[in-house]
Amino acid sequence: MHSSFIQNANEKVRENLSDEHFGVSELAGAMDMSRSNLLRKIKSETDLSASQFIRQIRLEHGRELIRGKQHTVSEVAYQVGFGSSSYFIKCFREHYGYPPGELDRHMGVTDEPIIATDAQSIEKGIPKRWMYLMIVLVGFLGATGVYWLSQSREAVGLEKSIAVLPFKNDSNDSTNLYLINGLMESTLNNLQKIKELKVVSRTSVEKYRASTKTVAEIAAELPVSYFVEGSGQKIGDRIQLNIQLIEAASDRHLWSKRYVRQVGDIFELQQEIAKNIAAEIRVIITPEEESRIAQAPTDNLEAYDFYLKGVESLNKGNTQGVTEAVMYLEQALELDQEFGLAYAYLAFSYYYMDIYQTDKKHVKELSSAADKALLYSPNDPSSLIAKAYYFVQIKSYELAVPYLERALAYSPNSAQIINTLSDFYTNYIPNTAKYLQYALKGLQVNVEVKDSVTTSYIYLHVSNALIQNGFVEEANRYIDVSLDYNPENYYSNYVRAFIRCAETRDLEETVDLLLIELEKDTTRMDILQEIAKLNYYQKEYAMAEKYYDRFIRLRDAKGLDIYRHESLKIGDVFSRMGRVEEGERYVEVFREYAEQDHSMYQPLSMTAYHAYRGDTAQALEYFREFAEQDDFQYWILLFLKSDPVMESLFENPEFVQVYEQMNEGFWRHHEVLRNTLVEEGLM
């Protein structure tokens, strides 16, 4: 029988189930208690942390909703306050021992979680020696399973993998190129909607646009089973298109077809090409996938023509291209005001106009275009991405995740979406485990291309995700591959310096390695602030001041709003160097940043702020809250003891105890993550 306190807390959480931002602080406010008293009370009565208590209530209610069979798992996830369905499924599995989709099989067996901790196993009468034996057996099966999994993945994954090479323009009229590129991109996008087929990203094949290499030579560089080659031209109101399907291993032409269609039949042509290719390599297209492939973006061919020109301009990747894209897309929308895909790409254009700028000038236009994209093309991945970009622009990052995950469900092979999610979980909603999962998935989709600068960055991305999760040896291996592809990749050498730091803990050596990189480009703000920070950690305050000043001058000159989370260190350095008033301004900038931060690192930022102000009790309270997190970056453990702001806290026995528990929890989570990635065939 629960106490009245627990019953009341339970009711408060259930009243706010759909609010994913209702957390420990909000519950404390609703209960009219301080956060520390709430934490202690819940811990003493339930043996759970406050965040675990809230999550358990959400999961229990979610289980009730799934039992009712009135909603999908994704709908339930959002109804009970989870920011993403994948995170809900992960937590559900951890709590109950099986995923939500298997609930029917387990109904009537038990309503209790079936995953036990070491202590729980002993309490339930399982002798510890048998548990250790099971661990040994699981370890053995895992090791042998990895071998067989890798063998089967190589065979099956390769069997259903394909690359769509850039189509060639058969016409002497270069203005036809955008149309041929549009047909190539539509073929690629339609194939990406088929879950059973692994489709190489456009980035991976783009380098072959002007290449004279044969398919056999390309096959030696792209590890896929099939290639699609295409060429065509527009003659009057007709499109002539030649498509060939080639088996990579033998360079054998399996199938070829010449399509001659009226321009008015272009959408049927795009659908027919994708279906013919899938049928030839015996890939199953589900009814839902077929429905998405069959959707025509517009009935107005002139509008579609302007749309293709807009996409071609946007793909140039420069300011002029973005400006041209807006012009073409607006012309398309003048002809068809319900053209959802054109609205989506217009939203992309406005997003890129404002990206990284302090003064966001196009948020209103971005919002309007994204909303109209969703209104007229609600199930198109591009519409969902456009809406996600709007939430990124206004810094409502949690609201963007459901749109990105839905987009990936509709286009499971999309490198753009996978890479966006990977970037999301490192830059916007920091979650090291998810960052690594999506980075590794991106590695599978962005198939390597020899001597490719792009491939170097893909491996850099994976290496960075690995080191953030404490996989030092693996990170080293991937960063070496990144530099093998492009020895001049400045960012790879930058990450390698920190991987080296994780191995040696030698901050002085790390500074020396970063100085080498800074000499290559003295405007690198990321390196300037890192050199300043490392000097700060070594209490070389004069050197820290020197590099922070250089960093600030560059940041202000470019009008960028970046690295606000470093403002406390800047303020402390300036104050120590006699610039007290200026230093205090930066400390206040940090306080405002920390109070508005919605990431998992907010309690840690508040810990640092209160430690700086000398309020040890408040700092300790926030640190206890942060220590409940799992997916924080390895750098926290690596550098926390070196931070002068935190120095006084490490003299407090309670703080040290929480820190040690957090350290142990990180490495436990590290091993769980490793096993999960191995099971998913990602590692």
Q: What is the 3-state secondary structure (H, E, C) of 473-526?
A: HHHHHHHHHHHHHCCCCHHHHHHHHHHHHHHHCCHHHHHHHHHHHHHHCCCCHH
For CA atoms 597, 603, 605, 609, give the dihedral sign.
Answer: positive
Q: What is the per-residue pLDDT for 142?
A: 30
pLDDT for 311 beyond 90: no
Bigger pLDDT: 457 or 663? 663
One domain, residues 499 and 575: yes
CB 436 within 8 A of CB 474: no
Q: What is the per-residue pLDDT for 468?
A: 93
One domain, residues 78 and 181: no
Which residues face 255 on adjacent strands?
Answer: 245
Of the listed ranges 315-319, 361-365, 592-596, the one predicted with least confidence? 315-319
Mean pLDDT of 24-47: 83
Secondary structure (3-state) at 406: helix
Percent of the chain whose predicted confidence (pLDDT) is above 90: 34
pLDDT-derived band at 266 (thresholds 50, 70, 90) equals confident
Percent of the chain whose predicted confidence (pLDDT) is above 70: 87
Nearest to 162 by CA among 455, 456, 447: 447
Bigger pLDDT: 510 or 164? 510
Q: What is the mean pLDDT of the chain?
A: 81
Phi, psi of 226 (to 5 degrees): -135, 150
CB 397 within 8 A of CB 428: yes
DSSP state of 251: T
Q: What is the per-residue pLDDT for 527?
A: 93
pLDDT for 305 beyond 90: no
From 296, 329, 361, the end of a domain falls on 296
User: In angstroms, what CA-CA distances link 535 with 510, 531, 538, 575?
Assistant: 10, 6, 5, 15
Of the listed ranges 67-81, 126-140, 426-440, the one predicted with least confidence? 126-140
Asked whether residue 407 is assigned to any structural domain, the reply reads no
pLDDT for 131 beyond 70: no
Of the listed ranges 429-443, 547-561, 597-611, the one predicted with least confidence? 429-443
One domain, residues 87 and 186: no
Assign residue 38 the CATH number of its domain: 1.10.10.60
Tell me how far apart the alpha carbons of residues 119 and 423 are, in angstroms, rounded to a whole number.
38
The encoded tokens of residue 24 equal 């420990």
Q: What pTM was estimated for this model as a whole?
A: 0.55
Mean pLDDT of 208-228: 78
Amino acid at 333: L
One domain, residues 505 and 638: yes
One domain, residues 110 and 220: no
Q: What is the per-residue pLDDT for 123?
A: 32
Assign residue 602 the CATH number of its domain: 1.25.40.10
Give per-residue pLDDT as tens, 529-571: 999 999 999 999 999 999 999 999 999 988 887 889 999 999 9
CB 312 within 8 A of CB 182: yes
Asked whether residue 381 is assigned to any structural domain, the reply reads no
Bigger pLDDT: 53 or 317? 53
Pairing of strands 168-169, 161-164: unpaired
Q: What is the per-residue pLDDT for 124?
A: 32
User: In angstroms, what CA-CA distances link 459 with 2, 439, 479, 490, 608?
Assistant: 52, 9, 7, 13, 33
Q: How many CA atoms within 13 Å lie on the side-chain side of 470?
A: 21
One domain, residues 658 and 512: yes
Q: Which residues of 284-309 are buried (b: 16+ CB within 10 A; e: fewer)?
A: ebeeebeebbeeebbebbebbbbbbb
Give per-residue pLDDT as tens, 387-404: 999 998 988 888 998 999
Asked whether residue 377 is assigned to any structural domain, the reply reads no
Q: What is the per-residue pLDDT for 126?
A: 31
Q: What is the per-residue pLDDT for 229?
A: 85
One domain, residues 660 and 529: yes
Mean pLDDT of 616-624: 95
As for how many domains the chain has, the answer is 3
The number of residues making up the chain comes to 683
pLDDT for 200 beyond 80: no
Q: Which residues of 575-608 are buried (b: 16+ CB within 10 A; e: fewer)?
A: bbbebeeebeebbebbbebbeebebbbbbbbbbb
Assign residue 166 the CATH number of its domain: 3.40.50.10610
Of the listed ranges 61-70, 383-392, 641-650, the one predicted with least confidence? 61-70
Q: How many helices (H) and strands (E) does the chain have?
A: 34, 6
Phi, psi of 227 (to 5 degrees): -125, 145
pLDDT for 328 beyond 80: yes
Nearest to 93 by CA among 124, 63, 61, 132: 63
One domain, residues 110 and 182: no
One domain, residues 176 and 60: no
Q: Domain residues for 48?
A: 4-115
For tokens 């990602």, name the residue: 682
* Angle CA 515–520–526, to nearest 5: 60
The encoded tokens of residue 225 equal 């089973």
Bigger pLDDT: 46 or 196? 46
Bigger pLDDT: 136 or 493? 493
Q: What is the per-residue pLDDT for 92?
A: 80
Q: What is the per-residue pLDDT for 2?
A: 65
One domain, residues 68 and 183: no
From 274, 296, 318, the end of a domain falls on 296
Q: What is the per-residue pLDDT for 183?
A: 76
pLDDT-derived band at 146 (thresholds 50, 70, 90) equals very low
Mean pLDDT of 476-492: 85
CB 69 within 8 A of CB 104: no
Asked whether residue 379 is assigned to any structural domain, the reply reads no
Q: What is the per-residue pLDDT for 106?
A: 61
For CA atoms 92, 97, 103, 108, give the dihedral sign.
Answer: negative
From 115, 136, 152, the end of a domain falls on 115
The encoded tokens of residue 11 equal 């009711």
Mean pLDDT of 174-195: 74
Q: Of 19-23, 75-79, 151-155, 388-392, give the range with the top mean pLDDT.
A: 388-392
For tokens 């390769």, name the residue: 158
pLDDT for 507 beyond 90: yes
Q: Of 268-282, 351-365, 624-638, give the range with the top mean pLDDT.
A: 624-638
Tell me how far apart the alpha carbons of residues 229 and 261 are, in angstroms, rounded to a whole number.
18
Asked whether residue 623 is assigned to any structural domain, the reply reads yes
User: In angstroms, what CA-CA distances link 136 with 86, 140, 395, 476, 647?
Assistant: 30, 6, 46, 28, 41
CB 674 within 8 A of CB 469: no
Mean pLDDT of 360-364: 91
One domain, residues 97 and 166: no
For tokens 């096959």, name the residue: 219
Bigger pLDDT: 263 or 421? 421
Asked whether residue 34 is assigned to any structural domain, the reply reads yes
Amino acid at 464: N
CA dihedral 233, 314, 395, 410 (to 10 degrees): 10
SS3 string, 162-202, reads EEECCCEECCCCHHHHHHHHHHHHHHHHHHHCCCCCEECCH
- Inter-residue long-range contacts of 69-73, CB under 8 Å, 24+ positions, other chains counted: 73/100, 73/101
pLDDT for 205 beyond 90: no
One domain, residues 171 and 283: yes
Tell me how far apart the alpha carbons of residues 412 and 397 are, in angstroms, rounded to a whole number.
21
